Every structure is written in C-alpha cells, then in structure tokens.
Chains A and B, each alone.
Chain A
Amino acid sequence: MEEDVKVLLIEDDVAAAEMYRLRLVADGYSVVIGHDGHEGLRMATDEAPDFIYLDLRLPGLDGFEVLERLRAGTATMHIPVIILTNYGEPELRERGLKLGALEFLVKSDTDPAELSESVERAVSPRALPSI
C-alpha cells in the first residue's frame, strides 16, 4: 500500500471520476479530482500530486493543452501523466506520447485495476527515471 501517494484525476465526467476514485482509494492511494482543465492545472500545482490521470475532452482547456502547460511549469514538469480517454485514434495517441504522457489508455479498454498498477509502476523507486 502506498499510503502517501496522491493521485490527481483531471476528469469532467462525474461518473467516471467517481469510479476511478473508488478504485484508487481502495488500493490505498489518496485521490483529488479536477473537473475541468483549469481546475486540474491549478490542483497540479496546489496539491502537488505524485501522479496525474488526464482526460482529453475537458471543458475550458482540453487535455493536450493541460499536458503542455504541465510540462512547461517548473512545479509540475516531472509529475508522471497518463492520458485516460474515450478517444482511441492513433494520431491522438502519438500526440499525447510526444507531449510527454507516460501512457495513453482508452477508458473502455482499461480495467480500473490497471490504474493502480500504472501508478505503482510509475512511482515505485525502481521506475523513477535516472537523472
């Protein structure tokens, strides 16, 4: 259990956010939710999460814009981000990975249990990128 690992979900679909929260909390993570692009960005700075799940279709700023700004901010540039979306087009996947997302997951093909596994992999010391 990673009692002290905080995950930020940037997700406007209330039902989806709630479901992922339940799963991650059950797996021992603490979870905060940003309901749109701007709120997500603000929480990425204020809450200092260890990990971010990012939706693409968001009110205000879309997921790609959020990702670009996360990468440009000194406080947020090293936070691992996984895109979690309903879109599965290869060009979007490529764009997301190019912008620095760790993985690109399609919601309907992703078991919520995989969310915790991805966080586990990303934040465990062995997986930390060497500097």
Chain B
Amino acid sequence: MPDLATSWDDPSTTDGASRDLVLEALRLASRLVSSGTRVREARCLLLHNDVLTSVASSRETEASERGRYRVSEHANFDRAISTGQVVDDGSTVVVPARGDNGVLGVITIDGEGGLGDAQPATLATIAHIVGLGVSQSRAVNELQLEAERSRRLERLKSEFLNIAAHELRSPLGIIRGYTSMLSEGMLPNPDREVALSRITEKAEEMARLISEMLETARLETLGLELELEPVDLLEVVDNAVHAMRPLMGPRHQFALAAPGDDIAVVADKRRLTTMLTNLIDNAIKYSPAGGEIEIACDHDEREATVLVRDHGIGINAEQAHLLFTRFGRLVTPETSHIRGTGLGLYLARESARLHGGDITVSPTPGGGSTFVVTLPIA
C-alpha cells in the first residue's frame, strides 16, 4: 500500500524533529494495520485539559477537518486514556501515547477491519515513542520560553539602569545641592524655605520614580494584585490634584468639574491615585507654556470617567499607541528634555485594565492631549 498524504496541523509546534517523528510514526502505524484493514486516516491528537486536538494526520484524501474532541464525551478516547490500553471498536483503533508524565495524546487509525493482524503492543510502542518525542519537544519549548523570559528581564534591567543613571540623578542633584547649602548656613531666610520645599518635592519625585520601577518589576515578574475596596472616585481625584499642585508651573491652572453626587467605584485606592497623579503630572510636563488643565469626572449607570485635558505639546496621532507601552515615551525635539521614565502611562493603563476599565488618549482640539480613564461603576 502506498504511503498516505501527511499533514501537520499544529501551527504552534515549531520543533521540526518532533513533527517528523510524529508523521513517521503515523505512516508506520498505518502500514502495520493495513495488511488486514483499509486505512482511511491515521491521526495524532494531543491532550490538553480533557480536550484532544488533532495535530497531524496521514490520510487518503487531502481534506480532513481539524478535530477537537472532549474526551469525556467519546467512550473510546476515554477508555484508551484512562486505562492506557489500545482500544479497537472495529472501525477505529485508539492507541494512547504515553509521555514522560502520563498519557499526553493518542494515535488513531480509522479504517474497516480495525487492528487486523497488528499487535497492540507494537502499536503501543510506536505511540510511546511519539509521546516521548512530544514530551521532549515540549520541554524544549518550555526552555525557549524561559530563555525569552530571562531576555525580557535582562532588557528590563538595562532599562532600569538607564533610569537610575539619568532620571534619579536629577532630583538627587537638587537634594544634595540644597542640603549642602543649608548645612553651610549660607542661605538667607526666604531662600531657606525655598530650599526645604525643593528638597521635599525632589525626595517625593525620587520616591515616585522608585515605586514606578518596583511596580513595573513586579508587574513583569509576578503580575499586579489589586487591593480592592469601595472608593469614592471624587475623593481620589481631589487627593491626586492636591498632591500634584506643587508641581504646577506659575502659568498652569487646574479646572475641576464634577457632578454633585459621589461616584462609587470598587478600586485599589493607592493605585487609582497613582494613575491619576501620573496623568496630571503628564499634563503639567507636556504643557510647558502653561495653560488650563481640565479634570472632569462623570458617570452613567455602567461606568465612571475621569478626563484629564491639557493644551500643551500634544501627541502625534500615529504614535499615540506607543505611549502606553513600557518605556514608550515619545521623544521629539520638543519633548526630549522632559524628565520621565516612560513607565507612568504604561503602569496607569495596566492598572486601569486590571480594574476592568481602560485609558484612552485623543488630541485636544486646538492642541494638547486629552486622556480619559474609564472604570466600572460599583
């Protein structure tokens, strides 16, 4: 009997060796049973959470649907997998493929006559070889994923070193400078107060940078876990505005708009505050010439929104999607000097999405950017 046409249906497997092994095993298994049987199709199906998915087949005709089967709904599959024995109902032979950690799939042979002259033990051995091959290729995939993960962390580390080298130095320079002038006692009284308030601001800036770095590291390695509680959104917005007031330039004004009633959301209060301070900080930084920064809260039955609108430099619409990626700061001649880690908006949106909401950005008519946070209503 001529070999059947073979095909490989599993696009997720890139390992050529295991692919060749599986196809060769299917050909071999077909030949073994074919002396007493007309084989229509031999297939290899892999098991994942009670579902068998066909990954390769060897068949008479080109057309074959890519099968997915719930094991518990197919008695032959169920029996073969639970007993580890070859099952033959006269039209389909099901051979369990045992890998390193139990049965990880089956080989099936469809045809009239069932097993024919073939020895179940020989088929079981062929299937076992397939199982071992697949186990091995999965282990290789796992290693590749691990390598990719560690490359990602390596990249994160170098990005963090860069922040430490540049962004942390700037506030540190001010703190050290003023501290030294204060300890020398060379500053007259009003300047002393300026010095103290600058030191406080810059220490806070450093603390913010450090927590952004830690939060990003946590997000990349462990994922963030929200500490949810009922929160009045207006109170959080007020706190964020209050916290950012010292960073406003003399030419900035805040314009706040909010409905008369409370807006109840379920949120991680600390992260929500950070998200909003980030947006306000951005609005201040990216409107260097000053102007109004509008902060407006609203809600309907389903969701609450907070809008933060500036009239500053604005964002190129084509690049807007980059804004929310890690270290996705848009550096242009106008913005290259603006301090920033490129983490604030990334963390803000990740956090909004974990809350079941989102952050979007659009241009402000006449120039500037408008960010809108949406959160589900409690």
Our verdict on whether A and B bind, yes or no, reads: yes
Q: Assess whether A26 is in contact with B180, with CB atoms less than 8 Å apart.
A: no
Is B198 in the interface zone, CB < 8 Å from A?
yes
Question: Number of contacting residues on B, CB 8 A?
Answer: 27
Q: Assess whether A113 is in contact with B184, with CB atoms less than 8 Å apart.
A: yes
Give the residue of B172, B174, B334 whose beta carbon is less than 8 angstroms from that of A15. B174
Residue among A16, A20, A88 facing the most chain B CB atoms (10 A cut-off): A16
Q: Assess whether A57 is in contact with B194, with CB atoms less than 8 Å apart.
A: no
Q: Assess whether B174 is in contact with A19, with CB atoms less than 8 Å apart.
A: yes
Is B143 in the interface zone, CB < 8 Å from A?
no
* Alpha-carbon gap, A87 to B164, bound state (A): 11
Q: Assess whether A108 is in contact with B178, with CB atoms less than 8 Å apart.
A: no
B340 → A minimal CB distance (Å): 12
Q: Assess whether B337 is in contact with A57, with CB atoms less than 8 Å apart.
A: yes
Q: Assess whether A23 is in contact with B173, with CB atoms less than 8 Å apart.
A: no
Give the residue of B173, B181, B186 whose beta carbon is less than 8 angstroms from that of A110. B173
What are the interface flags for B163-207 relative to A under an 8 Å C-beta threshold, 1 for contact and 0 otherwise? 001100110111011101100101100010011001001100000
Q: Assess whether B180 is in contact with A16, with CB atoms less than 8 Å apart.
A: no
Chain B, Cβ-Cβ closest to A19: B177
Q: Assess whether A108 is in contact with B172, with CB atoms less than 8 Å apart.
A: yes
Chain A, Cβ-Cβ closest to B186: A26
Question: Number of contacting residues on A, CB 8 A?
Answer: 27
A105 → B minimal CB distance (Å): 10
| Chain A residues within 8 Å of B177, by CB | 16, 19-20, 23, 107, 110-112
Q: Assess whether B174 is in contact with A22, with CB atoms less than 8 Å apart.
A: no
Q: Assess whether B170 is in contact with A22, with CB atoms less than 8 Å apart.
A: no
Q: From known contacts A15-B202, A18-B194, A112-B181, infer whether A58 and B169 are also in contact, taking CB-CB under 8 Å.
A: no
| Chain B residues within 8 Å of A89, by CB | 165
Is B158 in the interface zone, CB < 8 Å from A?
no
Give the residue of B180, B191, B288, B336 whose beta carbon is less than 8 angstroms from that of A112. B180
Q: Assess whether B187 is in contact with A12, with CB atoms less than 8 Å apart.
A: no
Is B333 in the interface zone, CB < 8 Å from A?
yes
Q: Assess whether A111 is in contact with B333, with CB atoms less than 8 Å apart.
A: no
* Alpha-carbon gap, A58 to B166, bound state (A): 14
Is A73 in the interface zone, CB < 8 Å from B?
no
* Alpha-carbon gap, A57 to B333, bound state (A): 11
Chain B, Cβ-Cβ closest to A22: B191
A115 → B minimal CB distance (Å): 9
* Alpha-carbon gap, A57 to B178, bound state (A): 22
Other than A58-B337, A87-B165, give 20 A-B pairs with Cβ distance below 8 A. Answer: A12-B337, A15-B201, A16-B174, A16-B177, A18-B194, A19-B195, A19-B198, A22-B187, A22-B195, A26-B181, A36-B337, A59-B333, A59-B337, A62-B336, A86-B166, A86-B170, A88-B165, A107-B170, A108-B170, A113-B180
Contact residues of A with B, CB < 8 Å?
Answer: 12-13, 15-16, 18-20, 22-23, 26, 36, 57-60, 62, 86-89, 106-108, 110-113
Contact residues of B with A, CB < 8 Å?
Answer: 165-166, 169-170, 172-174, 176-178, 180-181, 184, 186-187, 191, 194-195, 198, 201-202, 288, 333-334, 336-337, 339
Pick 7 A–B contacts, CB within 8 A, sort by A: A22-B191, A23-B177, A59-B333, A86-B169, A87-B166, A88-B165, A112-B180
